[in-house]
Amino acid sequence: MLATDLVRRLGGDAVALSRTELDIRDANAVKACLLAHRPDVVVNCAAWTAVDDAESREDEALAVNGHAVEPLAGFSAKLGARFVQISTDYVFSGVADHPFEEDATTAPINAYGRTKLAGERAALENGGYVVRTAWLYGAAGPNFVHTMIRLAGERRTVDVVDDQHGQPTWTADLADQLVLLIDSRAEPGVYHGTSSGQTTWYGFAREIFTLLGADPDRVRPTSSGLFVRPATRPAYSVLGHAGWAKAGLPPIRDWRHALHAAWSQLRMD
């Protein structure tokens, strides 16, 4: 989703490579690719994102999310290209009562988070940028918004967890923010690319039903304990945005405003 919106935002300036065109686990292929294209900026949108599968296949996830980032960031630095690594709220423990700032202590509670943290370290050690994001939705690809739209047409009621807090983030907004970061020449480091404000999955679902013209009371709150999954999810994934202020840049807008703006592209009629 993010790569699609980022390429659309960059237009003809972007060289977008699919998984079949470049296996980022192959350091020699990465080096050859960068030498061929000589980019000014490299944004790594590639990732193992199957969170539950990572619990039993952590080595495979680490190969993509962690080990592959070192040569990608390293070769970019040698060519003078700025490197941007997309990361996740899952590098945090999820135990908090106020937003995690960019310099907060990391403590991932699942394999996915551990592998993404390894990628962060590789990017930062090579002078790159790390942009953490969370709760992404967009027009391209499956996501929570599309699931809720589908379920609204299939079920009388939908049970959604109300004990996980986060920031729904439209990939088009994040793409714009990445371009803003790149164009600004801000200092390398960690930035949090999530919408402002916060809600729960339950609150997010109610807003989706409202936009559908459906009764939001059809969404019923429930507990994460009723949905047992291999990977533990953070209970609190709200990220602070002080890094943008330090760089003289505005944060991403409020999640609800973004959802309303995105709606015409998300609605599946």
Residues 2-39: tens digit of each pLDDT: 999 999 999 888 999 999 999 999 999 999 999 999 99
Task: Check residue 268 and give its pLDDT.
Answer: 59
| Mean pLDDT score, 212-237 | 95
CA-nearest of 227, 206, 229 to 218 is 206
| Mean pLDDT score, 251-269 | 91
| Mean pLDDT score, 175-182 | 97
| Mean pLDDT score, 118-128 | 98
d(CA 57, CA 259): 34
CATH superfamily of 2-142+168-197+238-253: NAD(P)-binding Rossmann-like Domain (3.40.50.720)
For residue 194, give Cα distances in angstroms to 102, 125, 135, 203.
Answer: 12, 23, 8, 17
104-113, pLDDT tens digit by residue? 999 999 999 9
CA-nearest of 210, 230, 231 to 219 is 210
d(CA 39, CA 22): 15
8 Å CB contact between 134 and 169: yes
> Would you state the structure tokens that stand for residue 36, as one six-digit string?
């061929």
69-97, pLDDT tens digit by residue? 999 999 999 999 999 999 999 999 999 99
| Mean pLDDT score, 160-166 | 97
d(CA 68, CA 18): 15
Give the sign of the dihedral formed by CA 131, CA 265, CA 150, CA 46: negative
**Residue 12 or 46, more confident:** 46
The average confidence (pLDDT) of the chain is 96
Task: Check residue 93 and give its pLDDT.
Answer: 97
183-221, pLDDT tens digit by residue? 998 999 999 999 999 999 999 999 999 999 999 999 999
| Mean pLDDT score, 228-257 | 96
Give first-to-last CA distance, the chain, whole Å: 19
> Would you state the structure tokens that stand for residue 188, as one six-digit string?
């390398």
- Domain residue spans in the chain? 2-142+168-197+238-253
Positions marked catalytic: 112
Task: Check residue 80 and give its pLDDT.
Answer: 97
Buried b (16+ CB within 10 A) or exposed e, 230-257: ebebbbbbbbbbebbeebebebbbebbe
Strands 136-137 and 169-170: parallel
8 Å CB contact between 66 and 87: no
